[in-house]
Structure 1
Amino acid sequence: MSHPPNNLDDDEVFENALEECLVAIAVRVGNYISSRSLRQPVRTSALSGATYVQELMHSRVRCYENLRMEPNLFRRLCDELKGFGLEDQRISVEEGVAMFLYTIGHNERVRVVAERYQHSTETVHHWFKSVLAAIIRLGTQIIKPRYPRTVQPEIQGHPTWYPYFKIEENKHKNYN
């Protein structure tokens, strides 16, 4: 804002300042509106993620190449994960698990998976976290130590790792 000439009264100074402020606001609003109107849809493939997953289920080879497992195992995994907290939402569990497996199986970035499955990066991220949490819960049921109260020989003989397990081993001996 420029300094007013000495011959202007306070009302004129106020009106000039107000006019400059309104012009600045109008320019910013115009820029905002034009930037919003230039936006184009990004995920516009004719093949949706759900359709893509269904297509993969009809080909054993393609399913294995993309999800790293055969269709029958994929369906069984989805059914198991439903028992560990996953449920259909706007996207099916099958599509969410497929996005997760595609991500880890090919070390893909979220943006690439979002483009492939035609969802936002937020949706892909949400499903990745949800499927990972369900797999961790499933893993605690499947993975059990063979000998829960013994230290493996590789660890027991290693000077860096054993001190941490030695404490646990002594605790177990005290409880027996």
Structure 2
Amino acid sequence: MAQLLEGHEQRIKDMTRFPQEAFLDLLNWLKGHTDLDDSNLVSAEEKLFMFLYIVAHGTKFRVIAELFQHSMDTGFLRDP
């Protein structure tokens, strides 16, 4: 995730359809106004990125799990 946020800004825009600044603004708003937060296994940034990637590309959740190297069996988006 750090590579996306610290890398060339076009990369995150291509993947989420959001400019980097808008992604970070949305992330900060969600963290301040909703229950979005880091879990034991997945950061809030990853959660938002995964959601936006699915919406932007119509990708299946299994593809995202593979892309981020998370097991579908661990319930990685849920808090314990």
Whose RCO is larger (CA < 8 A, sep 6+)? 2
What do you get for the CA RMSD once the two structures are aligned? 1.4
CA distance in 1, matches of 2:19, 2:69: 23
| TM-score (normalised: structure 2) | 0.81
Question: Moved runs in structure 1, 4+ residues, more than 6 A?
Answer: none
Structure 2: segments with no counterpart, 5+ residues: none
Deviation of the 1:96 alpha carbon: 0.7
Deviations 1:9-47 (A, max 9, x none): xxxxxxxxxxxxxxxxxxxxxxxxxxxxxxxxxxxxxxx
Distance 1:104 1:97 in 2: 11
User: Whose radius of gyration is greater, 1 or 2?
Assistant: 1
Give the TM-score normalised by the residue count of structure 1: 0.39
Distance 1:70 1:108 in 2: 20
- The counterpart of 1:101, out of the listed 48, 52, 71, is 52
Local SS of the residue matching 1:88: coil
Consecutive unaligned residues in structure 1, runs of 5 or more: 1-52, 127-176
Residue 74 of structure 1 and its aligned partner are, at CA, apart by 0.8
Give percent identity, aligned residues only: 34
What residue number does 2:4 align with? 56
Q: Which residue of 2 aligns with 1:74?
A: 23
